[in-house]
Structure 1
């Protein structure tokens, strides 16, 4: 017997939305995903949503994705996601700690948390899912008739986003990048939404704030949440497939700060000394330095350093052809080194550096 499935389309929205919130209407697509939690129940629930799967060794099984709901009275809903990529660890660690510690009596409203959303990738420690090879963060709006990654993205898009007012997406650089611990501004399609995103991102309280539009990519979770009218905050916490204690501390504080900014937790955000010290913007494709060769990458520009167009960024060495001299990589623009590649091995098209420019307009621009 399969467990009883919940009728998502019939679920009432009992948590009131903030005033003047304009939201896109979403009609959930037919699906067979079900959950062990009740989104409208008071208190703390930590359970799962189940995606039915029928592989060779489990005819009527499911993939269980951890899902938590903490609710106390009326107030906004904040959706927090970790484990979007399975080799990014600070977010899932900090979110798991928060879920164990939080007392529902300390909040006003609702928190929905998915600390290991790309569950099979989290288990494998990989950026993409080992089940279908897909990148969860390039799979929105998803497809309930697709593979596992597409079904999970569809559940977040159709079921979870419409319940939320705020979306906090916790990332780090993963195995292939080292990134300045940063809060990420997701550009909104509206001026008012963009301003709200900036204010909420500054409330996170990271040392560096960076606006990243992923070259206009629309298939990410943050772009999808933006399209539905949520207030969106992202983060990038170090990387290299490691767990940074400094970045973890920033992430722990940032989760609570966003909840305070939203009014779900009491008090003002705890903005540490040095937070929001730099506000930057990745300018577009010209900010990315890509490899054009197959070899071994030697980076020469430290994270956070200021560079000028034409400066030596690094070299690519050809170990299999010792008679060939390495080639130089030159920075394409003036900027700050926001991210650099972690593995030495590179192929054509691999990202070696990402540069960002000062973005003072973020502190004054917009409504």
Structure 2
């Protein structure tokens, strides 16, 4: 039986691409999100994958760009539904938010088929995602510097939480943020439909980060093998998990010098960064309030007083 998504339609053992219509531009041109269907030769589970719900987060698209050509539907059991670019309007202008309605797309789920531009896109993509047994929503840390991680956003009391953690371990990049996310995230509403959902945040970059993209491709193939889409054994290795974040701003204006590298263990009182004037004179020093892992930083060194500088993942364990 053929599998369809938008105008893409593939018989068992085949692959097709097409467009998922979500509205029109200001001149009346149809807006169609690029989609792909990989219909396995054998029946099995359905995996839904999407990327670029934030228009400047491109590593996920890089993953899809590398991953899809490597999957042979003739060797696949089950099916894979892919939306390559969710936030169509933001992608066109390389911005984070949808410029049509000034909305962060990953706060618009489950969407509204008769709502704003972002709500309509969210509704169309969520309708596709709800057909799946597993959901992977590919992100990155925008233009910040950050470790490669997977986020589980349903909260530890959710009935699907354990299954989401299993999916995160199967993806296997090494770090997991296990913290309930804001309303409107796909990784929040997918579990409410009983579907294990993860939100890989694949580093941070201006453009593509090939190292993070490679990890994402490997992660998707690990998922395919662990859940039986492809032959092969995948062991679940322990992941380092953080359940909270401490964010740090600058005590003064100037230039930042980091004293920790991404992924470093942090102890209370450790110096995270210093701020100097343009001539190297020390103006301020910021230390850690809690033990954790140096998780994320701004990319550019110049800061104003109170401006965001870095984050430390806290409440850390292994699971």
TM-score (norm 2): 0.86
Q: Answer whether contact 2:25 2:31 (CA < 8 A) is retained.
A: no
> What does 1:148-227 align with in structure 2 at a 5 Å threshold?
148-157=117-126, 159-175=127-143, 177-188=144-155, 190=157, 192-214=159-181, 217-227=182-192
**How far, CA to CA, are the matches of 2:218 and 2:116 in structure 1?**
35
1:68 paired to 2:68: no
Contact 1:174 1:239 in 2 (8 A): yes
State the match for 2:271 in structure 1. 312
Tell me by how many angstroms 1:161 deviates: 2.6
Root-mean-square deviation (Å): 3.0
Note if 1:44 corresponds to 2:5.
no
Contact 1:168–1:233 (CA under 8 A) maintained in structure 2: yes
Mapping for residues 330-345 of structure 1, pairs under 5 Å? 330-345=287-302
**Equivalent residue number for residue 247 of structure 1:** 212
Deviation, structure 1 residue 47: 0.7
Aligned to 2:44, the other structure's residue is in SS state coil
1:53 to 15, 24, 28: 24
Q: Secondary structure in 1 aligned to 2:130?
A: helix
More strand by share: 2
1:312-334 Cα deviation digits (max 9, x unpaired)? 32244577xx9x97333332221
Q: Is the 8 A contact 2:3 2:11 kept in 1?
A: no
TM-score by length of 1: 0.76
Deviation at 1:354, TM superposition (A): 1.7
Q: 1:74 is paired with a residue of what secondary structure?
A: strand
1:6 matched residue in structure 2: none
Give the Cα separation in 2 of the matches to 1:131 and 1:106.
41
Q: Deviations over 1:238-258 (max 9, x none)?
A: 213243332222111101111
Q: Distance in 2 between matches of 1:106 and 1:53?
A: 38
Query: Structure 2: 5+ residue runs without aligned partners?
Result: none
Give 1:26's aligned residue. Answer: none
Displacement of 1:190:
4.8
Match of 2:244, SS? Answer: coil
Q: Does 1:107 align with 2:76?
A: yes
Change (3 A) 1:207 1:190: closer
The partner residue of 1:257 within 222, 231, 239 is 222
Of the candidates 195, 198, 201, which is equivalent to residue 233 of structure 1?
198
Unpaired stretches in structure 1, ≥5 consecutive residues = 1-11, 16-33
1:79 shift after superposition = 0.5
2: CA distance, partners of 1:293 / 1:61: 48
Choose from 128, 145, 148 the match for 2:97.
128
State how far apart, in whole Å, the 1-side matches of 2:70 and 2:267 are.
46
Displacement of 1:106 in angstroms is: 1.4
Q: Say whether residues 1:88 and 2:57 are aligned partners.
A: yes
**Cα 1:359–1:311 shift into 2, 3 Å:** closer
Gap change, CA 1:334 and 1:188, over 3 Å in 2 = closer
Q: Measure the CA separation in 2 of the matches of 1:219 and 1:315.
A: 36
The alpha-carbon deviation at position 139 of structure 1 amounts to: 1.8
CA distance in 1, matches of 2:165, 2:287: 32
Answer yes or no: is the 8 Å Cα contact 1:13–1:163 preserved in 2: no
- Contact 2:136–2:198 (Cα < 8 Å) also in 1: yes
Q: Alignment partner of 2:166: what SS?
A: helix
Q: Secondary structure at the match of 1:75?
A: strand
